[in-house]
Amino acid sequence: MKIIEGIDKIEKPFENAVITIGNFDGVHLGHQALFHEVIEKADKIGGVSLAVTFEPHPMRVLRRNGHPPLITLYEQKTELIERTGIDYLLNIPFTKEFAAISAQDFLENILIGRIGMKAFVVGGDYSFGRNRQGDLAYLRQAAQRFAFDLIVADWIQPRSDGSERISSTRIREVVMEGDMEWACKMLGRYYQIRGTVAHGRNRGGKLLGCPTANINLHDELAPKTGVYAVIAEVQGQRIKGVANIGYSPTFDDHIFTVEVHLLDFDRNIYGQKIRVNFVRRIRDEKKFSGIEALSAQIRKDIRISEKLLCL
């Protein structure tokens, strides 16, 4: 997959471009279904498949004090989209000026004129342009006028009774509830956070006999506080682990931390990037009577994780 950073980097229209557009936060199964539709259509008409996304997330520009935490940061999002087999990813820097572009200008000047769109794949509630003018009714009329194919993809429903559909909003809710198994079903993979291992408060190994890798979160979504069975990716290796997310109430720190104990692992990884995949929530975070009681509980958590995790 080739990544194009900005509309101005497109030198000439693509031949028979098949496009889908979205923030694609999470690159969940619903997004993946859109990408597969795009690829399939591109194969049929001898064209190229292209996904258009935005950075930063539009809500971070339009709602500076109320934007949602991200399920996937840009680096991970691009990796996941590449795995689907899409030919090109066009990343458009999102600004207030860009948000002011009308649906008609965006469609005619950018999608058709600049990119060369011949087919457009969208979800059932898709809209675009200033004040979301470009809804499905507008697109159906535009498809006839400009002779491009409009494909409205079916919703992906994780429940057999059709009572729920996959969305980034719903996945955020599920992750914040700590239901990592349901999040996995909607994402098509474990929920993952990434970060660089930082120095913590230097008590995991010394006080508890359980050294931890501390990760600082920035813009990404944090699961509900508690203890989790996790699979970490470190130096190209997958390692079982236990993660604690929260405020360490036993120590009365009141500082939010993400600490990961890697099982049967003793290498120094300070300053290195790791990825943590959340498999299942084990328990709530709680305040213990002292170090000894906390250490005993951590040993229980480790035994539970070892039973839950398969590599």
Query: Per residue in 247-302, pLDDT tens?
Result: 877 667 778 889 999 998 888 888 999 999 999 999 998 887 777 888 888 899 99
Residue 165 lies in a domain: no
What CATH number is given to the structural domain containing 271? 2.40.30.30
The mean per-residue pLDDT over the stretch 173-198 comes to 96
Are 231 and 190 in contact by the 8 Å Cβ rule? The answer is yes
Domain boundary among 95, 122, 152: 152
- What pLDDT shows up at residue 123? 92
Residues 194 and 246 in one domain: yes
Residues 134 and 219 in one domain: no
Q: Of 190, 272, 203, 200, which Cα lies nearest the Cα of 230?
A: 190
Residue 23 lies in a domain: yes
Mean model confidence pLDDT for the chain: 90
Element (H, E) at 185: helix 180-187
Residue 4 lies in a domain: no
Residue 223 lies in a domain: yes
Are 18 and 47 in contact by the 8 Å Cβ rule? The answer is yes
Q: How far is CA 109 from CA 36, 71, 106, 117, 129, in A?
A: 26, 31, 6, 11, 12
Rounded to two decimals, the pTM is: 0.91
